Each structure stands twice: as structure tokens, then as C-alpha cells.
Amino acid sequence: MSVKKIIFNSRLKFLWVLALIAGAVVALRLVDIQLLRHNHYLQLAEQNRTQILYQTAPRGRIFTADGKAIATNAPSFNLYYLGAGPKEEDYLSQLAQDLAPRLGISKEAVTEKLNQALRSGKAIALAENLSPKSTIALKELQLYYPGIYLIEENKRSYPYGSMASHLIGYLGSMEGSDWKNRDLSLDYRLNAKLGKNGLEKKFEKEMKGSDGGVYLEVDYRGRVKQVIEDRKWKPGADIYLTLNYDVQQAAEEGLKNSLTGRGAAVAIDPRSGAVLALATAPAFNPGMFVPYSDEPEVKSKKISEYNLAVQGIYPPASTFKVITAIAAIEQGGFDPKKIINCPGHYDAGSRVFKCWSRHGPVDFFGGMAGSCDVYFYTLAAQIGPVPIERIQRMFQFGQPTGIDLPGEKAGNLYGPTRRARNRSFWFVGDTLNLSIGQGELLVTPIKMAQYAAALASRGKVWKPYYLDRVVNPQSGKILSEGKSEQIGTVEIANSTWDLVYKALKHTVDAGTARRVKMPGLDVYGKTGTAQNPHGEDHGWFMAFAGKEGQKPEIAVAVFVEFGKSGSSVAGPVARKMLEAYFQRSKSAEVSVKEPEEILGE
């Protein structure tokens, strides 16, 4: 073998080695594609070949405690023809004949659509948004004619309109950020609606359910080859609230018909902290955001997302006098019989503080019932501001109630220690302002309800809760439950409670809170008018009631913004709520005398 031949041979050998290396590279890449990334590509291949006619799952419903569905679903049906199936003239003509009257369109139009589907080989919608009524017959036809499919869509509906709108929130379309941040464990589609606010947002994961659909195998041009699977949806979990439908209804009605139509009303069960009503006015209709496909979608949100019940902070005004009274009684040496003369003003030395009226000589019960400012100025001047602040802290003023709602405001505690933290001075005038609940003191309506419930339960400060349970509608399994939680106790003597109860009962029986007086019930209440330097005064009404001789069952706080008066504007709302709770007939209302004073206390 010549040298040259060796060179030649080594050259071919070299190429052979190169071929082997190239083969190894190719083999590795094949392993990468077919073994390591198999799942990824399998998914893509499945996506390629399947087309899904989606059936939106019914969203979880929202129920009140008495079983009224305040958020539910309205089914709507779409009828599809799959474009794959018998193609005989007779079959199509018979199908068109049967469909036409049920869809309300002519036979020619149906035939045209069927032929169009057959020509393109694609699934086509014969009719959309059919009512449940017309679909019973169509469901039967589906059995006789392969190729037609009835697809059920579920649309959110709110049967009671704006009922509890601020609590429920609303649904909206997917926006860019929603899509990006969507929960990948749920099968969201681009045209899905999702909760944007309130419970709809909070329980989105639970209420969503999983969509079903008819899974079709299609070729690269989208022509239907066969039906792979007809998958039924799974409904979302139902939410049961502690709300009492009647009380909620009464609260919303009352607020809507009040002087300004703006405000909030909250009712709490003082035995557990369960929220019986949570109303904010003006309300909105959550349904306006989920229109049918042919309705224009509301883009601009003209509604007030501002939930006044937990986000509005105002001075509690005269409703606070209860705390001043408790502080004075607890301080010792308090004589409820002691008469204090109200000349209509109180001389604090450097400044004269006015009373809203001229009460003349009043004792404790008279002072409370008439909401006499001078009486409480005098009490506060005797005991000083520190005990008032102490009791205030027991009721947890200046802290959020902890209700599971977004954006709750804490309000503001008012007192000398609080002031000292700001490195500022405390004046006598501050003590007097504090005693009648004005000044820097600020509370939300939900706080006021918590306060009323604490009074009603003789010192139990509850964390209000509205969720009773989340239930899987198919299995009936309870997924989660709301629970009663006491976050504080007002530790004062029983005798003090008795005295306060007597005063508050007197206020209802013969004082400013006469509006809520109802026979057969023990009702306790206090009104308040918060001074508003920027406009009309705000009206407060705080009450709690139980059956005669029994423990209170409901505590109510009503706030009417710019309502001028607590008793005449907020009072009727509270009365309606109590009536609704105790199922009192309207006739009982007639027997109540109209209170004489209208403005201010």
C-alpha cells in the first residue's frame, strides 16, 4: 500500500469520524425533543388538534342566611352544528324542517347555515342566547340528529338588583394585567369574566368552577373530524352569608329613601358578631357589568366603589355619650339622681360651650334621653378626660374592626394620651368636645355597629364576620366556614351596665330615640348628630333590641351623610331594620308618636 493511499484512506476515515460526531449531535437533539421535551410538544399537538366549544361553568351562588340567592346564574344556550355527520339531502332537509320553528327562523336560512358548515367543514353556531324554555325540545332533537350540539352558557345574574352591591362587588372582563396574573390552576379563557371587587373578587377561586365543553378533533384547516369528548362543567362553590335578607332589604330601602340617600347601615348579632346587614348607599347594580353578547359592555365605572360602611370616617357625636357615662359611673361616686341645670350653654372659663337645646334641670336619665350636652360637659369636667379615653380603648376605638373587607379605615381615638403621642397639649375644651363625641374622634359605621353590639352584649367586642360557609354544591361538602371571634372585652361592673341600659331604654321610651320604640320589645338606642363644618350635619343612630325581658339579639348602626339629624333621618332606617328583624307588621308603626324635636341634639 502506497503512502498516498494511506493519506487517501485516512482522509475518508476522518470524514467517517465527522459523520459519527454529527450523528451523535443529531441523536442528542432527538433525545432532547422526543424524550426530554415530550410533554411540552404533546401538549402543543393536543392543542393543535382540539377545538373546544366551551360551556361556561355556573359561578358559585351567594346566599343570605335565610336562603335567598342574591347572586346566581341565568343559563343561556347556543346551538351548534358541527359540520361533520350525515350529508344526505334528506337528512339535512329533515333537520332544517325540525329546527326552523324552534329557532324562529325560516327553513331556508337553516339549510343555508347547514350547507355553509358542511362546505367549510367547521362548527357553526345556528342560534345563540336561546332561552331555557326553547331548549327542552332542542335537547330531544339532539338525540335524533348527530352533529347538532346544545351548548350551555351561564351568565351571572343578580335577582335582587343592587342588593348588597358593595359587599358582592362585580364581575368584569379580563384586562391585560388580569390575564398576566391569572391563577394558572384555574382554566381561564381570554373572554372569561372574573370578580373585580367585593365577594366576587375575594372568592373568585372558590366560585369560578371549571368549564366544560365539547372537545372536537379538527384538522389543520379547522375542519371537524370527530367529537372526542363532551365534558360537563363543574359548578363553583356556593357562598352562604350571615346576612338577613329582610334586614338588609330594610336597610337599603331605608337609606335609599332617606333625606340624602347617602349613608350606611350595619346590623350585627351581638351574640356572635355575625353581620346581619351591611348596606351602603348609593348602591349600584352589579349586573350591569355582565351584559349579554349583544349588549354593550359598560366600560366607564360611574358607580361608587367607595364602601362608606367601612371606609367613611365621621365623629360619633352624641352616641359617644354612653362612653362618657360609663366612665363617670365607673369612676365612682356617681349619683344618677343628681340634677344638673342646663341653661343652654356651659361656661368653661375661657370659652362658652353650647348645648343644642335648653333642657333645664336634668338628672342622668333625663340627660341621656334628651342628649343634654351640658350634663355630659359637667360629668367630663368632674372626671377628666383620662377615664373616658380608657373606656374608649376598651371599645377599641381607633382600631379597625377587622371585618374581612378591603380598605377598612381605623378611625381615630381621641384623648390626652393619644394627644401626648403627638407631642401636643390637651386643653379643657378638648375634654368637653370628647365628652359629646366631637373633635378629633372618628369612627366608621361598621365600628359604630361593633360598638352597639358591644353594648348589647354587655362588653363583648366582636370581630364582625359575614361569611357563614362555602359549600360545594355537588357534594354538599363544606369547604370553609366563617367563625365568631371575640377580640376584646369591656370590663365594667354589672351595675354600671344596668344603669346604662336603663338610660338607653329611657332614651327610646321617652327621649330622642323614640322612633324605634316598639311594643313587646326591649329597645335601647342613642342618636347622634355629627357636626360638619363643611356642610350639613351627619345623622347617626345606634340601637340594639331584644324581645321583652330577653337578651338583645340585634345591634344596629345607621349613618346618613348630610342627614342633618340622627333621630328623624337615621332613626326611621334603624326602625325598619328592627321591624324587619322581629317580623313586626307595619301597623305597629302607626301607634308611635312623632317626636317633637326634629333638628339637632
Cβ at position 287, least distance to another protein in Å:
40
Query: How far apart are CB 147 and another protein at their closest, in Å?
Result: 19
Strand order in the sheet with 50-55: 50-55, 212-218, 224-231
**Three-class SS of residue 571?**
helix
Q: How far apart are CA 131 and CA 198, in angstroms?
A: 29
CB atoms within 10 A of CB 24: 10
Beta bridge partners of 125: 80
Cα(511)–Cα(596) distance, rounded to whole angstroms?
Answer: 10
Q: Which is nearer to another protein, 30 or 420 (CB)?
A: 30
Question: Which residues does 316 contact at the CB level (< 8 Å), separation at least 6?
Answer: 437, 441, 443, 448, 451, 528, 530, 540
Q: How far apart are CA 491 and CA 391, in angstroms?
A: 9
Q: Cα–Cα distance between 565 and 538 in angstroms, integer? A: 7
CB of 238 closer than 8 Å to CB of 471: yes
The length of the chain in residues reads: 601
CB of 119: closest distance to another protein in angstroms? 18
Cis peptide before 336 (omega within 30 of 0): no
Nearest approach, Cβ of residue 221 and another protein (Å): 7
State the nearest-atom distance from the C-beta of 244 to another protein, in Å: 57
Instruction: CB nearer to another protein: give 28 or 137.
Output: 28
Name which of 45 and 420 has its Cβ closer to another protein.
Answer: 45
Query: Judged by CB, which is closer to another protein: 175, or 219?
Result: 219
Taking a C-beta distance cutoff of 8 angstroms, is the pair 38, 45 a contact?
Answer: no
Closest CB 10 distance from another protein, rounded Å: 10
| Other C-beta atoms lying within 10 Å of the C-beta of residue 146 | 13
Amino acid letter, 250: A
- Decide whether 17 or 137 has the Cβ nearer to another protein: 17
| 3 vs 136 by CB, closer to another protein | 3
Query: Grid coordinates representing 413?
Result: 381615638
Q: Residue 1 Cβ, how far from another protein at the closest point, in Å?
A: 10
Contact indicator for 542, 523 with CB cutoff of 8 Å: no
Identity of the residue, 9 or 131, whose beta carbon is nearer to another protein in the bound complex: 9
CB of 220 to another protein, least distance (A): 4
Question: Of 2 and 300, which has the nearer Cβ to another protein?
Answer: 2
Q: Are 246 and 277 in contact (CB under 8 A)?
A: no
Alpha carbon distance 430, 2 (integer Å): 118
Residues forming the site for another protein (CB under 8 A): 4, 7-9, 11-13, 15-16, 19-20, 22-23, 26-27, 29-31, 33-35, 37-38, 40-42, 44-46, 48-49, 217-221, 225
- Shortest Cβ distance from residue 15 to another protein (Å)? 6
Choice between 221 and 337, CB closer to another protein: 221
